[in-house]
Structure 1
Amino acid sequence: MKMSSKFCNIEFPLVQVPVWSLKMEEPFRNLFPIRQTVLAEIIDDMNVNGFDFGHPIVVWKMIVVDGHTRLKAAIAAGLETVPVICRQFNDENEALEYAIRCQRNRRNLTNGELLQCLQQLDMRKKAGRPANNSSCSMSRGKSSVDLGETLGISCKKVERLRAINAYATDEIKEALRQGKYSINRAYEETMRSRRPQEKIEPDTDAELVHSIMADIHARMNEIQIRKLVKALQIELANC
């Protein structure tokens, strides 16, 4: 799988290792929920054909970076060893980005998976983010472009996901994860509650008119009111 040159290109030869020697740890383990239908299909295939060496598990320090579903399938199929490729990364952030790109290149990420990836990546960058000033806005803009490249989406969609992550209710986030809301709808629902409501100023003239009308109806009958209206029309015409 072709990856950006930003990743360390040191890759060791494919080797067979015992399944018990591999570790499934955060943030990689639950980054992408395992789809049970896909898991079942891979288990069935492994029971017949064994592990496909064309798709080895990628590990870093014996931690599974890419291939959690394949490893679980291998364990379920009773395999004792699996093929792995060991890679070197500068740090956990780089390994996480690699894992996301592997999934992005393999299939379309769901909106819920995009939100999960963004949360993980932003959480790691937050500590090193500069103070809120003019240069910071430029940094965030560049970050949106970089993150969009990693996730395979536009920087506009990244910013919308960030707004959802920061301000959306749990109900909106859950609707996004379950596929009930698109990113655009979740964003609109989120921002609608944050927009200042239009403040309607009281109309003092209207209140005075209503008060006088109520007083007129209390004091006059219909004939007298008609005469009053006609007198007011003449008065206005002469103004």
Structure 2
Amino acid sequence: MPITSLTIGAMLGKADFAYKYMGGSSIMFNLLKTYIFGKILRTLEYPDGDLYTVKIHYPHLERLKTKIAEVQPPPYPTCVLTGEDIRQLALWHPPAFTEPLRTDRDIRAVPDGAWIFWSKYSEKEFPIPRRGVKLDAPAANIATSSAALADNCISLVKNLYRSKQISTSEYDRLIDLIIEKNEGIYTLARNFSNEPEEFVRHARRQLLKLPEKTIVMSTTTSVDSNGKIASNIS
């Protein structure tokens, strides 16, 4: 039985054909394209952040977090956003689904021009939903998200008060600020939810800068049976 022999060139040619047939050239091209030209991604802070576009040349998880942090404006004068503050990433699939991004492999698979949601909260604290997420979210959804943020802030302050890390007057003032939707306290709670000592330190600095709450008193005057005038302050 004759044995067919192949030259080295022919074998390499067949291997190259098989590689291209299996999509290898496309995979390699897309990988090299990202490293050379960069990948454009549109990023939004969940639930109600602003749109910022980033370009990454090295599709790695921590690198993407750093790039997102770099384009964000300072959330508050005393806070500087870093890659470590970004605890969740999720790829948005139109029209209303998201997929968590947890590994470098996930980031490499994200297509150019994709929409990425990110959050300062961990998945245990305030997860980005897997469904029902729309870019044109109705006002009801935004209101619900704001309420969730307020609830998280109040829970943090309550735990600090119970552990006696803040005084009663500080506790009452912080609760008032949360109800008033003070952006500074919201930002501190987002950035230092896992660092209570840092939250307390910065919160006290902010309380010192704020004016004391004005207490309105009313005075009523009455005359008793002996003709004396009595004043009651309430």
**TM-score, scaled relative to structure 2:** 0.26
Structure with more of its chain in strand, by fraction = 2
**TM-score, scaled relative to structure 1:** 0.26
Larger relative contact order (C-alpha < 8 A, sep ≥ 6)?
A: 1
